[in-house]
Amino acid sequence: MHELSIMEGVMNMVRESAQQNGIMKVNKLKLVIGRLTMVLPDSLQFCFQVLSQDDLFRNAVLEVEPREVIMRCMECETQFAREDPYCYICPGCGANQVEIVQGRELFLDYYEGE
């Protein structure tokens, strides 16, 4: 499962950073997920629950911020949001030469601990 390996990767990163900074308990972590990654926030939450049984992550809260897909037309430079991430046509001029400005990101925004 896609989400499980992502969550594992993120938690390993936090675990390593917590160790370096003397953090014994993580209270909160926040992930930013673009819609083009096809990662489902609910699945991430589920995987987090399964994986967060150790002392470091117990009681930690996972926050997921989904980012809409935003594209820009290379002909007329209109920027537009897309409900359907596979529809690459400019609503301004009908061109299909568009670039993706936002929606591919997947990163740990921050984590808090003590």
Of 55 and 83, which has the nearer Cβ to Zn ion? 83
The rounded Cα 93 to chain-centroid distance in angstroms is 31
CA distance 107 to 54: 22
Q: Which of 65, 68, 75, 112 binds Zn ion (CB under 5 A)?
A: 75
Report yes or no: 62 and 93 within 8 Å, Cβ to Cβ: no
In one-letter notation, the amino acid at residue 13 is M
| 54-73 binders of Zn ion (CB under 5 A) | 73
Of 9 and 91, which has the nearer Cβ to Zn ion? 91
87 touches Zn ion by CB under 5 A: no
Of 43 and 78, which has the nearer Cβ to Zn ion? 78
